[in-house]
């Protein structure tokens, strides 16, 4: 049975393995050591009883891909390389690891990590389904 931690780690490894990504820590760091970097974390959730023996949680798992904002035209050009490869890595990880989800939403925008102004993608994988046995 997949857990939330396994789903996050699986997605992080997939996006962190993209060409050019310099850092993909298991858990979000206080400060970024190298750019581009990727972080993955659960953001939203909704739970319900599934059967008398288990419950279902639907999570919104967020993936952020950051680059340090230095030269906007160059930064945007660099990031466009991830427009399809990022979601492709996410969907492939979900498929290959039999993790049920209901699509991806996201933004491409200026962001910040610690004190560093960044620009990048923020993808949210919708309704990642995790079943847990009631003990």
Q: In the chain, pLDDT over 90 holds for what percent of residues?
A: 92
pTM of the model: 0.92
Are the C-beta atoms of residues 24 and 17 closer than 8 Å to each other?
yes
pLDDT at 1: 67
What is the mean pLDDT of the segment spanning 88-99? 95
pLDDT digits (tens, 9 = 90+) for 62-88: 999 999 999 999 999 999 999 999 999
What is the mean pLDDT of the segment spanning 7-27? 95
- Residue 63 preceded by cis peptide, ω within 30: no
Mean of the per-residue pLDDT values for the chain?
94
Are the C-beta atoms of residues 13 and 40 closer than 8 Å to each other?
no
Name the residue ranges covered by the structural domains of the chain. 4-133
pLDDT digits (tens, 9 = 90+) for 22-53: 999 999 998 887 899 999 999 999 999 999 99
Q: What is the DSSP string of the chain?
A: ---HHHHHHHHHHHHHTSTT--B--SS--SS-SSSSEEEEEEEEEEEEEEETTEEEEEEEEEEEEEEE-S-HHHHHHHHHTHHHHHHHHHHHHHHHTT-----EEEEEEEEEETTEEEEEEEEEEEEEEEEEE--
CATH top-level class for 4-133? alpha beta
């Amino acid at each position: 049975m997949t857990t939330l931690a396994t789903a996050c780690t699986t997605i992080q490894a997939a996006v962190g393995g993209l060409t050019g990504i310099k850092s993909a820590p298991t858990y979000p760091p206080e400060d970024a050591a190298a750019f581009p970097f990727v972080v993955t974390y659960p953001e939203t959730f909704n739970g319900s009883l599934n059967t008398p023996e288990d419950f279902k949680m639907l999570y919104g798992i967020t993936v952020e891909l950051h680059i340090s904002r230095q030269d906007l035209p160059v930064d945007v050009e660099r990031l466009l390389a991830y427009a399809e490869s990022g979601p492709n890595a996410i969907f492939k990880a979900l498929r290959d690891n039999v993790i049920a989800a209901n699509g991806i939403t996201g933004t491409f925008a200026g962001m910040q990590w610690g004190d560093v102004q960044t620009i990048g993608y923020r993808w949210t994988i919708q309704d990642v389904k995790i079943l847990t046995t009631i003990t």
